[in-house]
A and B are shown apart, each in its own frame.
Chain A
Amino acid sequence: MKKSRFFMVLFICFALLVSVSAQAGRVNLKGKKITMSILGIAGWYPSKLGVDMSPAFAKYAKKKWGYDVKFTFEEAPFTSLFQKASASLATKSDDYNIIVSDSQWLGGFAAPGWIVKVNKLLESNPRLKAIKWYDQIVVDTYMSYPLGSKNYWGLPLEGDTMVLYVRKDKLLDPKERKAFKAKYGFDMPKTFEDFEKLTMPKFEKILAFFTRPKEGFYGLAQHTSKVYDFVCTAAHNYIWSRGGRIWDNKTGQVWGILNTDQNARSLAAYKKSLQWMPPGGVNYGNSQIMEAWNNGKVFCAIMWAAVGQYMMHPKGGEMMIVPPPMHLIDGKGKPNRVYSMGGQPWVINAFSDKEHLQVAEDFMEWWYTEDTQMEFARRGGNPVIKSVLDKKGFEKIKPWFRAYKFMLRRDRGRDFWHHPMYSVMLAKQQEAFHAYISGQVKDPKVALDYAAYHLQKILYEHGSTKKAPPKEGAKIRLK
Chain B
Amino acid sequence: MDASSAMGPGDAGFLTRFREKFLFLENPKYLQHLLLVPVLIFFIVWNVIPLLWLVGLSFYKYVLVTGEPLKFIGLTNFKEIFGSFEIWHALSNTFFFVIIGTLSQTVLGIILGFLFWDSKDLPGRRFALTLIFTPMILAPLATGSFFKLIYDPVFGIVNYFLKSIAGVTIDFLGSTAWALPSVLIVDTWMWTPFMMMMTLAALGSVPKAELEAAEVENLSWYRRLVHVVLPHGKFILMLGILLRTIDAFKSMDIIFTMTGGGPGNATELIGITLYRQAFNAFTMGKASALAIIALLIAISFTSIYLYILQKKEESM
Q: List residues of A whose CB falls within 8 A of some B CB.
A: 80, 82-83, 86-87, 90, 108, 111-114, 216, 225-227, 278-283, 297, 420-424, 426-428, 431, 434-441, 461-462, 474, 477-479
- B280 A427 Cβ-Cβ under 8 A: yes
B279 in the interface (beta carbon within 8 A): yes
- A280 B67 Cβ-Cβ under 8 A: no
Given contacts A279-B171, A297-B154, are A438 and B65 in contact (CB under 8 A)? no
Tell me the number of A-to-B contacts counted with CB atoms below 8 Å.
114
- B86 A283 Cβ-Cβ under 8 A: no
CA distance A262 to B175 in the complex (A): 27
In this complex, the member of B63, B169, B263, B283 whose beta carbon has the largest number of chain A beta carbons within 10 angstroms is B263
B263 partner residues in chain A, CB cutoff 8 A: 226, 282-283, 434, 437-440
B176 partner residues in chain A, CB cutoff 8 A: 438-440
Q: List residues of B whose CB falls within 8 A of some A CB.
A: 61, 63-68, 83, 85-86, 89, 152-155, 169, 171, 173-176, 259-266, 276-277, 279-283
CA distance A112 to B265 in the complex (A): 32
Min CB gap A257→B, angstroms: 22
Given contacts A113-B67, A434-B264, are A280 and B279 in contact (CB under 8 A)? no
Given contacts A112-B67, A431-B86, are A424 and B283 in contact (CB under 8 A)? yes
B169 partner residues in chain A, CB cutoff 8 A: 279
- A108 B66 Cβ-Cβ under 8 A: yes
CA distance A477 to B264 in the complex (A): 12
CA distance A313 to B169 in the complex (A): 28
List 4 tightest A-B contacts by C-beta distance, closest first. Answer: A112-B67, A440-B264, A438-B263, A279-B153
| Contact partner, B174, options A283, A421, A422, A424, Cβ 8 Å | A283
- B262 A424 Cβ-Cβ under 8 A: no
Chosen A-B contacts, 12 in total, with CB atoms closer than 8 Å, are: A226-B263, A279-B169, A280-B171, A421-B63, A426-B281, A427-B276, A427-B280, A431-B265, A438-B174, A438-B176, A438-B266, A439-B263
Measured CB to CB, the nearest residue on chain A to B156 is A280
A111 partner residues in chain B, CB cutoff 8 A: 66-67
- A90 B64 Cβ-Cβ under 8 A: yes
Min CB gap B209→A, angstroms: 57
- A427 B174 Cβ-Cβ under 8 A: no
CA distance A144 to B106 in the complex (A): 57
- B86 A478 Cβ-Cβ under 8 A: yes
- B279 A80 Cβ-Cβ under 8 A: yes
B280 partner residues in chain A, CB cutoff 8 A: 423, 426-427
CA distance A427 to B86 in the complex (A): 13
B277 partner residues in chain A, CB cutoff 8 A: 427
B89 partner residues in chain A, CB cutoff 8 A: 479
In this complex, the member of B66, B153, B283 whose beta carbon has the largest number of chain A beta carbons within 10 angstroms is B66
CA distance A435 to B266 in the complex (A): 9
Min CB gap B146→A, angstroms: 14
- A278 B154 Cβ-Cβ under 8 A: yes
CA distance A434 to B260 in the complex (A): 11
| Contact partner, A83, options B66, B154, B155, B282, Cβ 8 Å | B282
- A440 B174 Cβ-Cβ under 8 A: no
CA distance A83 to B155 in the complex (A): 34
Q: A420-B67, A461-B61 are in contact. List 7 more A-B contacts (CB 8 A).
A: A112-B65, A112-B67, A113-B67, A226-B259, A280-B152, A280-B173, A434-B262
| Contact partner, B260, options A216, A227, A420, A462, Cβ 8 Å | A227
Measured CB to CB, the nearest residue on chain B to A281 is B174
A278 partner residues in chain B, CB cutoff 8 A: 153-154
Say whether chain B's binding surface is mostly helix, strand, loop, or mixed.
loop
Measured CB to CB, the nearest residue on chain B to A461 is B61
Measured CB to CB, the nearest residue on chain A to B267 is A226
A435 partner residues in chain B, CB cutoff 8 A: 264-265
Given contacts A280-B154, A462-B66, are A439 and B279 in contact (CB under 8 A)? no
CA distance A113 to B65 in the complex (A): 11
CA distance A386 to B283 in the complex (A): 40
A108 partner residues in chain B, CB cutoff 8 A: 65-66
CA distance A187 to B67 in the complex (A): 56
Measured CB to CB, the nearest residue on chain A to B279 is A83
CA distance A422 to B261 in the complex (A): 20
B68 partner residues in chain A, CB cutoff 8 A: 112
Min CB gap B155→A, angstroms: 8
B86 partner residues in chain A, CB cutoff 8 A: 431, 478
Min CB gap A464→B, angstroms: 10
- B153 A280 Cβ-Cβ under 8 A: yes
CA distance A113 to B276 in the complex (A): 25
CA distance A52 to B64 in the complex (A): 31
- A438 B264 Cβ-Cβ under 8 A: yes
- A438 B153 Cβ-Cβ under 8 A: no
B260 partner residues in chain A, CB cutoff 8 A: 225-227, 283
Min CB gap A74→B, angstroms: 18
Min CB gap A227→B, angstroms: 4
- B154 A225 Cβ-Cβ under 8 A: no
Measured CB to CB, the nearest residue on chain A to B259 is A283
Given contacts A431-B86, A439-B176, are A114 and B67 in contact (CB under 8 A)? yes
CA distance A279 to B158 in the complex (A): 14
A82 partner residues in chain B, CB cutoff 8 A: 65
- A86 B264 Cβ-Cβ under 8 A: no
CA distance A428 to B80 in the complex (A): 14
Measured CB to CB, the nearest residue on chain B to A476 is B85
Measured CB to CB, the nearest residue on chain A to B177 is A439
B61 partner residues in chain A, CB cutoff 8 A: 461
- B66 A421 Cβ-Cβ under 8 A: yes
Measured CB to CB, the nearest residue on chain A to B152 is A280
CA distance A405 to B123 in the complex (A): 68
| Contact partner, A279, options B83, B154, B282, Cβ 8 Å | B154
Measured CB to CB, the nearest residue on chain B to A430 is B280
- A86 B262 Cβ-Cβ under 8 A: no
Measured CB to CB, the nearest residue on chain B to A213 is B169
A216 partner residues in chain B, CB cutoff 8 A: 154-155
B175 partner residues in chain A, CB cutoff 8 A: 439
A297 partner residues in chain B, CB cutoff 8 A: 154
